[in-house]
């Protein structure tokens, strides 16, 4: 852009930014949301990176399931750094009288724990808390424990009291305020109980097959690279079967969750920007319509079309820079405010600061959106016919701009979409969302065209109010399409989020508990199975007892090809990323349906066969007759795929992706897991009875786990709703902008109508009809499109059941119609009061 | 020499212009042929709708004829694309409108400098200042249009029309929005400047007295030239 264009643009901006308030606010809102989401995500990630050593517990962590490291492995590790050893399992804690029980996350630590970070303990009454070593030591015949405050509430005990875990009696010496390596975080099944290694042994809970994991954390000597250490370790112990994590993936699950949330929130933020983009485009179009005479004058004085375009593009970009800057400031500051709203369960604290990368991304989104929505009116305005200056007035150009501007709009839109997809960690999700947004915008445009067409062709109603209202919808330059699209898109997102949340919540609140068992029982020893079954059969209220053997194993090869080198689709990776539960069975498990092959005879004793999850088989490219190799407790076992099953995971039953034929694993160390349903009133009694009789068996309450999950979904839905409210706010701004820009014409209309004898009531009625129609149309469309989007997300992405929730939709529709009516009317009531005489004199 | 007369400045042959309208095609200009020599002043008169403004727009390169040939200052306007027409206006044409059409966000000085700025002239502001001083607005350089009276605004517009030394000045009812006394002052100014510079003038007016100040009067009726006559009085005045 030449300096001349900038010079004229600067002069044009002297008119002030009054007319650009909607432009600036729309742009600033959209950019602010994206910048805020990006900044917050970056701050949490930076917090993760800062705390990664203490979260991981060392420079490297090796995790083993079921077994401890052997002497050779231990010596190898000890020679290369300082070791700290921890063990984690689920267990039941009971009060000494056996009246109250609770599932706990039991963790044993050694003297070296923690290698990084610090444990914070507290004792009641503001007294000095003991050191961790002192708190866990053996005193007066009892081992000490430190516990999360939640456990004491649950069991109704206090510091100094004792609890029973397995065979051991543990004295609670302090409450655990901060655990540097607590990463389980969002979905824990019970409160933490931390004990020393000897105390864990004293519980007697650790037997072959117990679901326990051992972590070996290493502090490497300064300056040594963890990658080099890991490579050496893999070479020295290729079959150890440990899961190795280093600082780069200290909290992979948390990282994934964070990435997903960031993608979702950025996409909703982008919707706000799209909605705001319509406002930005409308604002520029209305500004340029007011500039028609100036543009014509400049052309008469010899300004080329190109100079005109560049001048107003320069002005638009200067304004956009202002709006974007405002948005960036708001977005960069938002994390400082939002940090206090972060879920308390989050194990890391955000590292607040200014992060340039997300700000740059947000600014780029803002710039591209500005271009995508303003190039059209800018291109059209440059086509103003200056000859009109010789006539009474110059007509603003309302039509389409020359083809090259339309192409430029398409390029800007494509760049915007491309950036949205490329900058997302989940590109498939982003791509579908972008396509969805484009389709929704197109649908709204189409619907707007249909509404305009209908208003034009409905005939000429005899009531002048209705006639005026309809005419206002289709007159040239009417903002019907823009208002409908922007208001509608914001509403559609709200409808979709409300429906998705409503469905997930009802799934958790009602549908899941209808089918789900009340309890999972884990770590039942093989010699306890008969008495366990007997106990539950004799408990009143207990129904639907199911029990299967449970082992842990890792998929190590597909058709003989090690999984590290096999081609596995992203959606199936979860199954190879770590140990999985597996079982063996003589009969087809409940909750499964055969989709290929046939089930083996109940008395089958031949070479190992496996029944595999059909979806995983698809993801791993496996079919009937292929082989699957699993590593169970260090032993490799290769089985041929005899059949494929479709599994209903939502039944929360005893579902296993891998079911082996009987005889193959009978001798392996194993435990049993069981599910049972019981009447809600007798849940506590059942848990108590089981834990009194079988101290080693843990009872996981499905109700508690679901409540925990519901809390997480609630928090996520609240965040998404807040962001989509911004999208709706942008939509409302677009409406307000459209009302403001049409004000002069409305005053003129009102004056003419009054001169012709219309009363205020007549005119009011016309406006109410006009805005009512607009609001209803936007709401109805948004309800339809939002419902469609929610249905797609629930059935196609999440694979859950769908039920229409008219309440959420009706609320949205009512809200939209009222808002449109209120804003439209508020914007036009002044027109009603206009005195005809002054207007007629100056016209 | 104030009156260069080396060939016609305007040459129009069999000009037709048809505009589409909701009620069907309207033949605004129907076969106009006109020759204006350099340095002439021509009054264009006729009833509303006779095609005066349209003819002026065609001569300014603002409207393209349906048929016929238009040459201004030796340039065949039919052969120029949109940008060439913009350059043509910048370098050759000055326009004074009935409603002034100053850019409201620009000062008087900036309004006048604009055609020179478009031409990339480094001395744009110096010449614009001289131009404004010439029309008696040396003390109003930094005023915005809204801060000027109607007569002052039209004087700014006249300074703007003359600043790039155009060969042809198009004036469309320049006094139409001014009261009688102010109008006379503005017209005096217009005629003085054109006389000093030897600029060809085409003036649309409803005012016959004003038209008679021109050397020649062309009357349009219904899209055709109804009368084309020299004005003796004006010729005397020219001497």
Q: How many CB pairs under 8 A join A and B?
A: 82
Task: With CA atoms as reference, report the closest residue to A479 among A452, A457, A456.
Answer: A452
**A510 Cβ contact list (under 8 Å, min separation 6):** none
Euclidean distance between CA atoms B80 and B225, whole angstroms = 26
For B97-123, what is the mean pLDDT?
A: 90
The verdict on a CB contact (< 8 Å) between A389 and B97 is: yes
Q: What is the DSSP string of B143-183?
A: --GGGS-HHHHHHHHHHHHHHT--SEEEEESTTTTS-HHHH
Average pLDDT over all residues of chain A: 85
What residues in B contact A385, CB-CB < 8 Å?
62-63
The answer as to whether B214 is a domain residue is yes
For a pLDDT cut of 90, what percent of chain A falls above it? 27
Q: Are A203 and A70 in contact (CB under 8 A)?
A: no
The pLDDT of residue A343 is: 58
Whole-complex ipTM: 0.82
Euclidean distance between CA atoms B100 and A266, whole angstroms = 51
Residue with more model confidence, A839 or A490: A490
- Residue A839 CA, distance from chain mean position: 55
For A230-242, what is the mean pLDDT?
A: 83
pLDDT at residue A799 above 60?
Answer: yes
Q: Are B203 and B44 in contact (CB under 8 A)?
A: yes
Q: Is any Cβ of chain B less than 8 angstroms from the Cβ of A390?
A: yes
CA-nearest residue to A300 within chain B is: B89
Instruction: Tell me how many degrees the CA angle B141-B148-B52 measures, rounded to the nearest 5.
Output: 105
Q: Are A389 and B89 in contact (CB under 8 A)?
A: no
The pLDDT of residue B126 is: 95
- For A:41-80, CB contacts with B below 8 A are none
pLDDT at residue B1 above 60?
Answer: no
**A95 Cβ contact list (under 8 Å, min separation 6):** A101, A155, A156, A157, A161, A163, A164
What separation, in Å, do the N-terminal and C-terminal C-alpha atoms of chain A show? 39
Q: Is any Cβ of chain B less than 8 angstroms from the Cβ of A297?
A: yes
Strands A243-246 and A60-65, by their bridges, are: antiparallel
- Its sign, for the CA torsion A825, A830, A835, A839, is negative
For A440-444, what is the mean pLDDT?
A: 85
Tokens standing for residue A611: 């029944």
pLDDT at residue B233 above 70?
Answer: no
Euclidean distance between CA atoms A354 and A752, whole angstroms = 56
**B162 Cβ contact list (under 8 Å, min separation 6):** B94, B131, B169, B193, B197, B199
Secondary structure element (H or E) that encloses residue A91, with its range: strand A82-95
SS3 category, A45 = helix
Question: Which of the 8 DSSP states describes residue A567?
Answer: -
The answer as to whether B227 is a domain residue is yes
Could you read off the pLDDT of A687-738 as tens digits, one per residue?
Answer: 888 888 888 888 888 877 787 778 777 877 887 787 778 887 888 888 777 7
B102 vs chain A: nearest CA distance in angstroms? 7
What's the pLDDT band for A253 if we cut at 50, 70, 90? confident
What burial letters (b/e) apply to A46-68, b meaning 16+ CB within 10 Å? Answer: bbbeebbbbbbbbbbbbbbbbbe
Q: Are B231 and B212 in contact (CB under 8 A)?
A: yes
Euclidean distance between CA atoms A212 and A223, whole angstroms = 33
The pLDDT of residue B221 is: 93
Among A108-112, A123-127, A739-743, name the most confident range. Answer: A108-112
Which residue from B87, B95, B119 is facing A300, i.e. has the nearest CB? Answer: B95
The pLDDT of residue A401 is: 86
The pLDDT of residue B237 is: 41
Mutation for B interface: A299, A302, A379, most B CBs within 10 A: A302
pLDDT at residue A185 above 50?
Answer: no
The pLDDT of residue B239 is: 33
For A620-626, what is the mean pLDDT?
A: 92
The answer as to whether B3 is a domain residue is no
Q: How far is CA A653 from CA A547, A674, B118, in A?
A: 10, 9, 79
- Residue in the structure block whose two tokens are 């004199």: A841
The pLDDT of residue A599 is: 93
CA-nearest residue to A290 within chain B is: B104
Q: How far is CA A189 from CA A185, A709, B69, B83, in A?
A: 10, 10, 90, 74
The verdict on a CB contact (< 8 Å) between A302 and B105 is: no
What's the pLDDT band for A1 if we cut at 50, 70, 90? low
Euclidean distance between CA atoms B238 and A422, whole angstroms = 75
pLDDT at residue A769 above 90?
Answer: no
CA-nearest residue to A386 within chain B is: B62
pLDDT at residue B201 above 50?
Answer: yes
The pLDDT of residue A572 is: 80
What's the pLDDT band for B5 if we cut at 50, 70, 90? very low
The verdict on a CB contact (< 8 Å) between B105 and A300 is: no
The pLDDT of residue A644 is: 94
* CATH number reported for the structural domain that contains residue B84 in this entry: 3.40.50.300
Q: Is the peptide bond before A114 cis (omega within 30 degrees of 0)?
A: yes
Mutation for B interface: A7, A299, A301, most B CBs within 10 A: A301
Strands A519-524 and A212-219, by their bridges, are: unpaired
Euclidean distance between CA atoms A170 and A200, whole angstroms = 10
pLDDT at residue B205 above 80?
Answer: yes
Mutation for B interface: A18, A297, A392, most B CBs within 10 A: A297
Secondary structure element (H or E) that encloses residue A37, with its range: helix A21-50
Which residue from A4, A12, A304 is facing B105, i.e. has the nearest CB? Answer: A12
The verdict on a CB contact (< 8 Å) between B110 and A11 is: yes
The verdict on a CB contact (< 8 Å) between B53 and A300 is: no
The verdict on a CB contact (< 8 Å) between A296 and B82 is: no
pLDDT at residue B143 above 80?
Answer: yes
The verdict on a CB contact (< 8 Å) between B172 and A15 is: no
- Its sign, for the CA torsion A470, A472, A476, A480, is negative
What residues in B contact A390, CB-CB < 8 Å?
53-54, 56-57, 62, 97, 172
SS3 category, A700 = strand
The pLDDT of residue B42 is: 95
What's the pLDDT band for B234 if we cut at 50, 70, 90? very low
A2 vs chain B: nearest CA distance in angstroms? 11
What's the pLDDT band for A808 if we cut at 50, 70, 90? confident
What's the pLDDT band for B3 if we cut at 50, 70, 90? very low
What's the pLDDT band for A843 if we cut at 50, 70, 90? very low
Question: How many domains is chain B built from?
Answer: 1
Could you read off the pLDDT of A33-50 as tens digits, one per residue?
Answer: 999 989 988 988 888 888
B115 vs chain A: nearest CA distance in angstroms? 6
Strand partners of residue A549:
A672
Residues of B with CB under 8 A from a CB of A: 53-54, 56-57, 60, 62-63, 82-83, 86-91, 93, 95, 97, 99, 101-106, 110, 114-115, 117-120, 160, 164, 172
Which burial class, exposed, middle or buried, applies to A606 when counting CB atoms under 10 A from its CB (0-12, 13-18, 19+)?
exposed
Instruction: Tell me how many degrees the CA angle B90-B185-B147 measures, rounded to the nearest 5.
Output: 70
SS3 category, A349 = coil
Range of the domain at B23: 8-238
The verdict on a CB contact (< 8 Å) between B89 and A390 is: no
For B25-49, what is the mean pLDDT?
A: 92
What residues in B contact A4, CB-CB < 8 Å?
117-118, 120
Euclidean distance between CA atoms A448 and A460, whole angstroms = 20
What residues in A contact B83, CB-CB < 8 Å?
304-306
The answer as to whether B140 is a domain residue is yes
Euclidean distance between CA atoms A615 and A622, whole angstroms = 10
B9 vs chain A: nearest CA distance in angstroms? 19
The verdict on a CB contact (< 8 Å) between A302 and B102 is: no
The verdict on a CB contact (< 8 Å) between A301 and B118 is: yes
Residue A97: CA count within 13 A, CB half-sphere? 6
pLDDT at residue A671 above 90?
Answer: no
A272 vs chain B: nearest CA distance in angstroms? 33
Which residue from A15, A296, A303 is facing B118, i.e. has the nearest CB? Answer: A303
Q: Are A174 and A159 in contact (CB under 8 A)?
A: yes
What residues in B contact A302, CB-CB < 8 Å?
86-91, 93, 115, 118-119, 164
SS3 category, A573 = coil
Which residue from B53, B99, B117 is facing A4, i.e. has the nearest CB? Answer: B117
The verdict on a CB contact (< 8 Å) between A298 and B114 is: yes
The verdict on a CB contact (< 8 Å) between A11 and B62 is: no
Mutation for B interface: A8, A300, A315, A393, most B CBs within 10 A: A300
For B40-67, what is the mean pLDDT?
A: 91
Phi, psi of A545 (to 5 degrees): -80, 130
Question: Which of the 8 DSSP states describes residue A840?
Answer: H
A468 vs chain B: nearest CA distance in angstroms? 22
Task: State the CB neighbour count (10 A cutoff) for residue A717.
Answer: 17
CA-nearest residue to B94 within chain A is: A301
Q: Are A698 and A512 in contact (CB under 8 A)?
A: no
The answer as to whether B13 is a domain residue is yes
Secondary structure in 3-state letters for A202-266: HHCCCCCCCCEEEEEEEECCCCCCHHHHHHHHHHHCCCCCCEEEEHHHCCHHHHHHHHHHHHHHH
What's the pLDDT band for A837 if we cut at 50, 70, 90? low
Q: Is any Cβ of chain B less than 8 angstroms from the Cβ of A19?
A: no
For A158-179, what is the mean pLDDT?
A: 92
What's the pLDDT band for A382 if we cut at 50, 70, 90? confident
pLDDT at residue A394 above 70?
Answer: no
Euclidean distance between CA atoms A791 and A804, whole angstroms = 9
Which burial class, exposed, middle or buried, applies to A468 when counting CB atoms under 10 A from its CB (0-12, 13-18, 19+)?
buried
Strands A561-562 and A592-597, by their bridges, are: unpaired
Length of chain B: 239
Euclidean distance between CA atoms A305 and A427, whole angstroms = 40
pLDDT at residue B207 above 50?
Answer: yes
What burial letters (b/e) apply to B23-37, b meaning 16+ CB within 10 Å? Answer: eeeeebbeebebebb
What's the pLDDT band for A124 if we cut at 50, 70, 90? confident
Euclidean distance between CA atoms A273 and A723, whole angstroms = 11
What's the pLDDT band for B2 if we cut at 50, 70, 90? very low
Euclidean distance between CA atoms A634 and A656, whole angstroms = 20
Task: With CA atoms as reference, report the closest residue to A687 among A491, A535, A842.
Answer: A535
Q: Are A648 and A591 in contact (CB under 8 A)?
A: yes
Phi, psi of A128 (to 5 degrees): -65, 125
Euclidean distance between CA atoms A643 and A625, whole angstroms = 9
Tokens standing for residue A370: 């500005």
For A435-459, what is the mean pLDDT?
A: 84
Q: Is any Cβ of chain B less than 8 angstroms from the Cβ of A389?
A: yes
Q: Are A131 and A729 in contact (CB under 8 A)?
A: no
Q: Is any Cβ of chain B less than 8 angstroms from the Cβ of A296?
A: yes
CA-nearest residue to A307 within chain B is: B118
Tokens standing for residue A606: 């031949």
Length of chain A: 843
The answer as to whether B2 is a domain residue is no
What's the pLDDT band for A767 if we cut at 50, 70, 90? confident
Euclidean distance between CA atoms B36 and B218, whole angstroms = 11
Of A120-134, A307-321, A770-784, A793-807, the poorest mean pLDDT is in: A793-807
Phi, psi of A133 (to 5 degrees): -60, -45
Strand partners of residue B96:
B171
């Amino acid at each position: 852009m030449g300096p001349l264009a900038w010079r004229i643009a600067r002069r044009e901006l002297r008119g002030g930014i009054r007319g650009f308030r909607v432009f600036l606010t729309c742009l600033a809102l959209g950019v602010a949301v994206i910048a805020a989401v990006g900044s917050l995500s970056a701050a949490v990630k930076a917090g993760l990176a800062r705390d990664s050593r203490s979260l991981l517990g060392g420079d490297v962590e090796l995790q083993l399931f079921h077994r401890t490291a052997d002497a050779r492995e231990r010596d190898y590790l000890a020679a290369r750094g300082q070791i700290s050893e921890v063990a984690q399992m689920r267990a039941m804690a009971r009060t000494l009288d056996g009246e109250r029980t609770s599932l706990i996350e039991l963790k044993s630590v050694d003297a070296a724990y923690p290698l990084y970070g610090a444990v914070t303990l507290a004792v009641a009454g503001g007294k000095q808390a003991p050191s961790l070593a002192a708190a866990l030591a053996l005193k007066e015949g009892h081992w000490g424990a430190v516990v999360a405050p939640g456990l004491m509430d649950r069991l109704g005990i206090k510091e100094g009291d004792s609890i029973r875990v397995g065979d051991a009696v543990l004295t609670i010496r302090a409450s655990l305020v901060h655990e540097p390596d607590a990463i389980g975080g969002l979905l824990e099944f019970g409160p933490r109980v931390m004990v020393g290694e000897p105390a864990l042994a004293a519980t007697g809970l650790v037997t072959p097959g117990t679901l326990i994991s051992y972590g070996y954390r290493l502090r490497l000597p300064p300056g040594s690279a963890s990658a080099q250490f890991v490579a050496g370790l893999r070479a020295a112990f290729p079959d150890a079967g440990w899961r190795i994590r280093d600082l780069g993936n200290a909290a992979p699950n948390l990282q994934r969750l964070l990435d997903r949330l960031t993608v979702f929130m950025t996409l909703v933020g982008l919707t706000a920007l799209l909605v705001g983009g319509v406002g930005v485009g409308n604002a520029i179009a209305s500004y340029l319509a007011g500039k028609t005479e100036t543009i014509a004058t400049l052309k008469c004085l010899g300004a080329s079309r190109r100079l005109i375009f560049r001048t107003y593009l320069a002005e638009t970009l200067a304004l956009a820079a202002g709006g974007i800057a405002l948005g960036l400031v708001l977005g960069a500051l938002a994390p400082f405010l939002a940090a206090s709203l972060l879920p308390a369960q989050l194990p890391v604290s955000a590292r607040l600061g200014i992060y340039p990368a997300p700000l740059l991304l947000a600014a780029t989104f803002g710039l591209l959106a500005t271009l995508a929505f303003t190039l059209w009116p800018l291109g059209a305005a440059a086509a103003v016919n200056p000859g009109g200056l010789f006539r009474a007035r110059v007509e603003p150009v309302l039509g389409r701009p020359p083809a090259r501007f339309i192409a430029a709009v398409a390029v800007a839109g494509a760049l915007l979409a491309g950036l949205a997809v490329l900058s997302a960690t989940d590109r498939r999700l982003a791509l579908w969302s972008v396509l969805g947004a484009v389709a929704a915008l197109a649908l709204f445009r189409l619907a707007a065209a249909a509404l305009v067409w209908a208003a034009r062709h409905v005939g000429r109603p005899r009531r002048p109010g209705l006639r005026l209202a309809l005419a206002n919808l289709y007159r040239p330059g009417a903002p019907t399409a823009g208002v409908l699209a922007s208001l509608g898109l914001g509403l559609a997102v709200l409808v979709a989020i409300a429906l998705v949340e409503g469905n997930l919540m009802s799934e958790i609140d009602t549908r899941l508990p209808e089918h789900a068992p009340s309890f999972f029982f884990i770590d039942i020893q093989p010699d306890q199975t008969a008495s366990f079954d007997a106990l539950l059969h004799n408990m009143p209220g207990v129904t639907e007892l199911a029990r299967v053997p449970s082992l842990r194993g890792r998929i190590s090869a597909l058709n003989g090809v090690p999984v590290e080198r096999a081609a596995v689709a992203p959606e199936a990776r979860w199954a190879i990323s770590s140990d999985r539960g597996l079982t063996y069975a003589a009969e087809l498990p409940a909750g499964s349906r055969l989709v290929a092959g046939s089930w083996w005879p109940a008395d089958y004793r031949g070479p190992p066969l496996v029944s595999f999850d059909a979806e995983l088989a698809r993801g791993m490219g496996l079919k009937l007759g292929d082989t699957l190799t699993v590593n169970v407790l260090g032993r490799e076992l290769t089985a041929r795929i005899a059949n494929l099953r479709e599994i209903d995971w939502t039944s929360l039953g005893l579902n296993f992706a891998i079911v082996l034929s009987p005889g193959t694993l009978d001798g392996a160390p194993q435990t049993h897991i069981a599910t049972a349903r019981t009447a809600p009133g007798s849940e506590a009694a059942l848990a108590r009875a089981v834990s009194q009789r079988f101290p080693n068996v843990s009872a996981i309450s499905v109700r508690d786990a679901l409540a925990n999950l519901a809390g997480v979904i609630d928090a996520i839905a609240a965040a998404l709703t807040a962001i989509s409210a911004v999208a709706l706010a942008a939509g409302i701004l677009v409406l307000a902008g459209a009302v403001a820009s049409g004000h002069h014409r409305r005053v003129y209309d009102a004056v003419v109508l009054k001169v012709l004898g219309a009363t205020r009531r007549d005119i009011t009625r016309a406006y109410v009809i006009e805005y009512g129609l607009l609001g209803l149309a936007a709401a109805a469309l948004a309800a339809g499109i939002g419902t469609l989007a929610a249905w797609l997300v629930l059935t196609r992405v999440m694979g859950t059941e769908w039920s229409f929730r008219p309440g959420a939709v009706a609320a949205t529709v009512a809200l939209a119609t009222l808002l449109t009516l209120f804003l439209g009317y508020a914007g036009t009531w002044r027109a009603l009061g206009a005195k005809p005489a002054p207007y007629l004199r100056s016209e | 020499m104030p009156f260069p007369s080396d060939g016609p400045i305007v040459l129009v042959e069999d000009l037709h212009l048809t505009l589409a309208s909701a009620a069907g095609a309207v033949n605004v200009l129907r076969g106009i042929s006109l020759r204006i020599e350099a340095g002439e002043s021509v009054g264009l008169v006729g009833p509303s709708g006779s095609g005066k403004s349209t003819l002026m727009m065609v001569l300014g390169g603002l409207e393209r004829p349906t048929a016929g040939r238009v040459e201004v200052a030796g340039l065949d306007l039919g052969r120029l694309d949109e940008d060439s027409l913009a350059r043509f206006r910048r370098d050759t044409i000055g326009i004074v409108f009935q409603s002034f059409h100053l850019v409201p966000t620009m000062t008087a000085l900036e309004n006048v400098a604009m055609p020179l700025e478009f031409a990339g002239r480094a001395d744009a502001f110096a010449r614009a200042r001289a131009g404004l001083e010439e029309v008696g607005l040396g003390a109003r350089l930094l005023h915005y249009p809204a801060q000027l009276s109607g007569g002052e605004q039209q004087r700014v517009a006249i300074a703007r029309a003359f600043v790039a030394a155009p060969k042809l000045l198009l004036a469309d009812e320049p006094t139409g929005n001014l009261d009688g006394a102010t109008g006379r002052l503005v017209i005096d100014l217009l005629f003085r400047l054109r006389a000093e510079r030897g600029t060809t003038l085409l003036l649309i007016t409803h005012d016959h007295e004003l038209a008679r100040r021109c050397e020649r009067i062309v009357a349009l009726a219904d899209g055709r030239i109804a009368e084309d006559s020299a004005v003796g009085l004006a010729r005397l005045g020219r001497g």
